[in-house]
Amino acid sequence: MLFVAWLYETVFNCCRRVDRFLFKQPEPKIDENTVPVSNLPWMWIGAVFPNSETSIDCTHMVDPTITYGMTVTTDWLENVTGYTPVTWKYLDAKSLEEKEFPSSGIVIDDTESEHYEKSSISSSTNPDHTE
């Protein structure tokens, strides 16, 4: 009986290693210009089509193309995703409310890193600061 258990474990581990080797997913390339998901003003973006109450999640298509300083508009979303819905909706990351995408767009700014840089500069020029 122990032999059968040993044989089963050995074959299972071998198959698992072969599976990992043959079907290994490539490491995702991290672009320095893309905005981390934690800094985006939404948790998801969805396209809502006419005569439908369902929305299609477009977050995976939109998030990798976002860079700091750009304005995300509904026209830009339509160009990136290829969807031309009547409305775009997003889930606000701060309030967790579903909102309609503003026609003026949303500006992606890097306020958190600017705040961090300012606080680190002010702490280094503080006369009470000792190293």
DSSP annotation of 67 reads B
Q: What is the pLDDT of residue 118?
A: 45
- pLDDT of residue 62 exceeding 60, the answer is yes
- Considering the chain, what percentage of its residues have pLDDT values greater than 90? 28
Write out the two tokens for 45: 């973006």
Q: Region 95-101: what's the mean pLDDT? A: 93
- Check pLDDT > 70 for residue 10: yes
Which positions ≥6 away from 99 have C-beta within 8 Å? 89, 90, 91, 92
Q: Is 91 exposed, middle or buried (0-12, 13-18, 19+ CB in 10 A)?
A: middle
Average pLDDT over residues 56-63: 90
What is the band of 119 on the pLDDT scale with cuts at 50, 70, 90? very low
* Number of Cβ within a 10 Å radius of residue 111: 9
Three-state secondary-structure class, residue 91: strand
3-class secondary-structure state, position 118: helix
For residue 87, pLDDT beyond 70: yes
Contacts 24+ apart (CB under 8 A), 2-6: none
